[in-house]
Amino acid sequence: MSPIRIRGRAFIGDAFVDDVSIEFDQHILALGRGMEGERVDGVILPGFIDLHVHGGAGSDFMDGTVEAAETVARAHAKTGTTSLAATTLSGSREAIRSAATAASRLARHRHAGCAEIIAIHFEGPYISAKRAGAQDPRSIRAADIQEVEELLGAAHGLPAIITLAPEIEGAHQLIEKFRDSVVISIGHTDASFGDAIDAIARGARHIAHLFNAMRPLHHREPGVVGAALLSEEVSAELIADGVHVHPAILRHFARALSGRVCLVTDAMRACGMPPGTYRLYEHDVTVDDGAARLADGTLAGSVLTMIKAVQNMVELAGLPLEMVVPMATSIPARIAGASRKGRIDIGYESDLIVVSERFELKRAFVRGREIDLA
């Protein structure tokens, strides 16, 4: 492909720089001021990276087909997500394996117009029945090393995140077995503070959707949230839709866990769709007023997009954009081990977006190929 050069205000390093020209093909070839280039209408950012996304546009990764995976990846690319972790749910061995196989096939082919699948996030089935949230309680089971090996085989070399409850049977052995080869994440858990600290000592390095589907922070039992505050080696996800976590808590914990928070959507198949009833594995979910809930009111994922999460962190949580951008770019890239993503720098993959002051997506590029936003 022929190199492209665009010019404008851009997020370089950890700050905004005016009048920067960026030349790129699949990788960024040159950066500089005073160079010629097509002036863009908006600010140039690294493409967003979502490490926890189940679905969108009516499809879900658990549908287990390449077509469904492509639909999800294409839908999120149109909202500024250039890379994502295809996320599964607690389900049968066959269903989770089919989801991993389909996502890995799409990742290998890199279909034009799609966000790139850079990892598979296995959210369950090794979780707490008490903190299952919207996950299928019949599919929850003890941690199984052999099953994980089968799932990693189905992933065909894609990096993996495994979210589990560290207090359940077999969790300690699984953490120690895979801590050097996958990202072990704590989530959907009733773990005490001691349980969480022990899991971190064994090799857990991430926390799924902090505050949600875990015991709440308490001054006599801090739980996983307290462990996140004290354990500087762990990163944590926040769902910034204004529903899952109050804006005041978003603001406080983004500062308290500076450099360790990544924004995620936890989006389900209704993302980008009108209000109505949708399927989340074995559950019916009603989507209304920007929230997805089971019949009993339990939150069931979200209909959030990454660009809206960034906007909410600025407009609801009151944080400066230069503090928020890394939470959606360089920090998730680091967590996923995507060493050439998440920044605008020479040699990095040219995943770029152009965003207006009102957080409207104007343009998006995945590895230098422009996304059709229509």
Question: Do residues 271 and 304 touch, judged by C-beta distance below 8 A?
Answer: yes
- Catalytic residue status for 266: yes
Distance CA 67, CA 346 (A): 34
Question: Do residues 268 and 280 touch, judged by C-beta distance below 8 A?
Answer: yes
Residue-wise DSSP of 240-275: -SSSSS-HHHHHHHHHHTTTTEEEE--B-TTTTS-S
Tokens of 17: 């720089």
Q: How many CB atoms lie within 10 A of CB 153?
A: 13
Q: In one letter, which amino acid is 296?
A: D
Question: Do residues 126 and 171 touch, judged by C-beta distance below 8 A?
Answer: yes
Q: Which of 50, 60, 195, 266 is catalytic?
A: 266
Distance CA 95, CA 242 (A): 31
Calculate the alpha carbon distances from 290 to 10, 135, 300, 320 in Å. 31, 20, 12, 24
Non-local (6+) Cβ contacts of 117 within 8 A are: 69, 73, 83, 84, 85, 86, 103, 104, 106, 107, 158
Helix (H, G, I), strand (E, B) or coil at 213: coil
Distance CA 230, CA 253 (A): 12
Peptide bond into 216 cis (omega under 30): no
Nearest Cα neighbor of 133 from 46, 227, 215 is 215
Residue with tokens 């770019």: 329
Distance CA 211, CA 231 (A): 16
Distance CA 21, CA 184 (A): 39
Catalytic residues: 266
